[in-house]
Structure 1
Amino acid sequence: MRILITGGGGFLGQKLSRKLTEHGALRGQPITAMTLMDVAEPAKPKAGFPVTSLACDIADDVAVKALFADHGPFDVIYHLAAVVSGAAEADFDLGMRINLMGSIHLFQAARAQGNCPVVVYASSIAAHGGEEPEVIVDGVELNPQTSYGSQKVMGELLLNDMSRKGFLDGRGLRLPTVSIRPGKANAAASSFMSSIFRDTMQGDASNCPVGRDFLIFHTAPRTIIENLVIAAELDGAGFGFNRCLNLPGRSDTVGEMIDAMTRVFGPEAEARITWEADPVIEKIVHSWRNRVISEKALRLGFVQDKSFEDTVRWFLEDDIQRRPA
């Protein structure tokens, strides 16, 4: 079992690679090799099998073909590499180059292997918006309102068609906002949805550009990693005609999430939150849908967070960067 993770240097790629090395197997077979690729060489987890880490521009078709020639064929491909929402909205050409053309290059290289590999594609809840209903259910027509969401949907359509043709065994997952993300803030429009918890619990100030009543459809990093593993383990035929679905998440307001943090951590973190509106961020995040009923995903066996208190506890166990005493 040979595995490729694009975006292997990102926090999800790093967590996923560690999880897979702990398991040592996927789809009932032992993992024999893993390749992590990103725009810069990713860190490698300790593993009982060879792990290759390399820098590769996914938008460079020649480089992607060389990656597959040198390190493939791959049996399972996790496609996590992307330019995040705020950056893709600010720079249309960059988003198209990475999010769309990068996906095309990757899918075509996977197709050329000739072994119909499992491809787990990280899409986004940003696929929804516009004239869709306020509560999203399975089968609702996609109507993204950002360049990032549109690029993700185009990838979904290609993944579906290439699966229909038997080139790939695709599984597209529309991720809720992942909170609490470790590390530093990035250019994602949703970045504040982690920083107001992560940074304040680590002793720093953080600004919330929306009100306490803003509703967030979210999920924890631990839950996303579990669902990424589940996605590869499932029989692709179980997805039916549409290989892409909405992952389960929770819908809570900013205020409810802050209250949950306070119950677990205490009041000092909330005191570090400032409340200055940001019209650019507000325009993007208010275009998203934040009430989603994920019946298909739950029926297939994907998992759902029980509380944001759990998310806070997991962050304190897994990811908090504590200052030296």
Structure 2
Amino acid sequence: MHIVITGGAGFLGQRLATRLLARGELRGEAIQRLTLVDQVEPPCPPSDTVDVAGRALDITEPGALDTVLDARPQVVYHLAAVVSSAAEADLDLGMEVNFDATRALLEGCRGRGLANTRLIMASSVAAYGGELPAVLDDMTALQPQNSYGTQKAMCELLINDYSRRGLVDGCVLRLPTIIVRPGRPNAAASSFASSILREPLNGEEAICPVATSLQLFVMSPAKVIEALIHGAEVPGEALAPFRAFMLPGITVSVAEMLDTLRQVAGDEALARVRHEPDPRIEAIVASWPARFETRRAEALGFAGDRSLHDIVMAFIEERSR
């Protein structure tokens, strides 16, 4: 089994690689090769049994993935992306990375006859928007209200069509907002959702740029990694007729997030959160829906978190290791 991860130097790519190596197998086969691709050479988790390689590649360059695809991987995790705020600020960059590179990846698979290669793309709740029902499902029309969501929605349609034609075996997982991410804030509009928990728990100040009434659909890093792995193992016929669906997150308000922070770390931690409204960020995040019916994902074996409290406690436990 040969697995490729684009965005392999990123938060999800590194966690996914480590988890795959710990498992040692995928789809009932032993993992023999793992190739991590990113714009900088990705760190390679150690392994005594798997050939792990990191490749520094600009996937927007023509033919950038040729050598990787020539090795005929059985599974490709397509995690590389320009995140929400950055894609909104720079349309050309977002299109090149989020859409053009995805199309090039699909064409690379098509040109090599990789019809049985499972291509798993991380999409986003940002693919939805506009006037929406109170609770969405997987067949709610996609009406993204920002460039990032639009680029992801276009990729979803392409992957579904290439799969329908038998050119690749695609699976698109729409990820909820991931909390609590370790590390530092990034350019994602939703970055504050981790910051207002992570920084106060680390004894640092954080800025909340949105109203506390704003709701988010969230999922823990551990459950996202489980979902990515499970996405490789669901039979292709079970994914048809449309191969994109929302993962089972939970709906929480910013107020509930701050209350959970107070419950687990006290008033002192809560006092480290400063409220500084940012209309640009709120406009992006408020366009994302927060309530989903996810029976399809659950029927396929995908599982979510039990509660926000569990998510926060998992971060605290991991931080202490």
* 2:36/2:53 contact within 8 Å kept: yes
C-alpha separation between the residues in 2 aligned to 1:111 and 1:194?
38
State how far apart, in whole Å, the 2-side matches of 1:44 and 1:316 are.
25
Give matches, 1:4-19, under 5 Å: 4-19=4-19
Q: 2:271 is paired with a residue of what secondary structure?
A: helix
Contact 2:6 2:13 in 1 (8 A): yes
Q: 1:149 is aligned with what amino acid?
A: G
Report if aligned partners of 2:109, 2:168 keep a CA contact under 8 Å in 1: yes
For each residue in 1:241-284, what CA deviation from the matched residue of structure 2 results, as whole angstroms up to 9, or x when unmatched?
10000111000111112222332333332111000100110111
Equivalents in 1 of 2:213, 2:73: separation in Å? 45
CA contact (8 A) 2:200 2:269 kept: yes
Deviation for aligned residue 1:126 = 0.4
Give the total of aligned pairs: 319
2:91 matched to 1:92?
yes
Match of 1:138 in 2: 138
Q: Secondary structure at the match of 2:17?
A: helix
Aligned position for 1:189: 189
8 Å Cα contact 2:98/2:151 also seen in 1: yes
User: For the Cα contact (< 8 Å) 1:247–1:302, is it kept in 2?
Assistant: yes
Partner in structure 1 of residue 65 of structure 2: 64
Gaps spanning 5+ residues in structure 1: where?
A: none
The residue aligned with 1:175 is 175
> Given residue 210 of structure 1, which amino acid in structure 2 is its aligned partner?
V
Amino acid in the other structure paired with 2:56: A
Distance 1:40 1:233 in 2: 29
Query: Over residues 30-59 of structure 1, what are the superposed CA-to-partner deviations in whole Å (9 max), with x where a residue is unaligned?
Result: 001000011111111122211000111111
Percent identity over the alignment? 46
Aligned residue number for residue 2 of structure 2: 2
Partner of 1:295: 295
Q: Using a 3 Å threshold, how does the CA distance of structure 1 residues 86 and 56 change in structure 2: closer, same or farther?
A: same
| 1:320/1:107 CA distance change after superposition, 3 Å | farther
How far the C-alpha of 1:227 sits from its partner, in A, is: 0.5
Q: Which residue of 2 aligns with 1:39?
A: 39
In the TM superposition, what is the alpha-carbon distance from 1:112 to its structure 2 partner? Answer: 2.5
Contact 1:182 1:320 in 2 (8 A): no
Counterpart secondary structure, 2:143: coil
Gaps of 5+ in 2: none
Q: Secondary structure at the match of 1:58?
A: coil
**Is the 1:138–1:295 contact (alpha carbons within 8 Å) kept by the matching residues of 2?**
no
Structure 1 stretches of at least 4 aligned residues deviating more than 3 Å after TM superposition: none
Kindly report the root-mean-square deviation, in angstroms, between the aligned alpha carbons of the 2 structures: 1.3
Range with bigger deviation, 180-189 or 24-33: 180-189
Residues 281-315 of structure 1 deviation map (CA, whole Å, 9 limit, x = unaligned)? 01111111111111110111100110111111211
| SS class of match (1:207) | strand
Return 19-28 or 302-311, whichever deviates more.
Answer: 302-311
Secondary structure at the aligned position of 2:166 is classed as coil
8 Å CA contact retained: 1:230, 1:302: yes
SS at match of 1:265: helix
2:219 counterpart residue number: 219
> Aligned-pair distance for 1:236?
1.3
TM-score by length of 1: 0.95
Asked if the contact 1:132–1:143 (Cα under 8 Å) also holds between the matched residues in 2, the reply is no
Question: Aligned partners of 1:233 and 1:82: how far apart in 2?
Answer: 23
Aligned-partner Cα distance in 1 for 2:302–2:161: 23
- TM-aligned CA deviation for residue 83 of structure 1: 0.1
| 1:159 has 2:159 as partner | yes
Deviation at 1:66, TM superposition (A): 3.1
User: 2-side partners of 1:246 and 1:93: how far apart?
Assistant: 27
The answer as to whether partners of 2:85 and 2:187 remain within 8 angstroms in 1 is: yes
Task: Name the amino acid aligned to 1:73.
Answer: R
In structure 1, what is the equivalent of residue 102 of structure 2? 103
Q: Which amino acid aligns with 2:150?
A: S
1:319: Cα distance to partner?
4.2
Aligned to 2:278: 278
Once the two structures are TM-superposed, the CA of residue 320 in structure 1 deviates from its matched residue by 6.5
Cα distance in structure 2, aligned partners of 1:148 and 1:6: 18
Structure 2 counterpart of 1:115: 114
1:265 aligned onto 2:265: yes
SS at match of 2:312: helix
Distance 1:234 1:267 in 2: 45
Are 1:200 and 2:194 counterparts? Answer: no
Q: Does 1:81 align with 2:80?
A: yes
TM-score by length of 2: 0.96
